Structure 1
Amino acid sequence: MNFFSDLSRQLLHTGNKVQKDLEASAKDAIELGGDAELFYKLSEHIFFSDMAYHEQGRANHMMLKTTFESFQ
């Protein structure tokens, strides 16, 4: 269970890092005509990291809900 205790924080950190990379890539693409493929990959990574973060939160909520409902 130790893996899950820091998972939310790790996912949030990863999402923030990818968001910063995406913003830097967007700025470079505008100024320098940067690589569109890199921008697409970063957009995809930010989408999946956000999805993983929210799914982990949902899974924690469902585990707590199931635990509390089992006592009723």
Structure 2
Amino acid sequence: MRRLLAIFCLAAPFAGILWVSSYARITPTLLGIPFFYWYQMLWIPVAAGLTALALVLLRRDRRTDSEGTPR
């Protein structure tokens, strides 16, 4: 289950950025910045957080495997 969640955490930023038609517009603006730009910039900290979460999940999964306890 942890590995599946880690895969989702790593795949979400790709899906959010590669689906261009979902954010290829000007409105709403944020401090005068068109949506197209601030949406992409928002993904930078989100992707970093999701990558860190995936790392934590995979480390816990590896630790559980090495201890020999059932998942």
TM, length-normalised to structure 1: 0.48
Counting helix residues as a fraction of each chain, which structure ranks higher?
Answer: 1
Q: Give TM-score scaled by structure 2 length.
A: 0.48
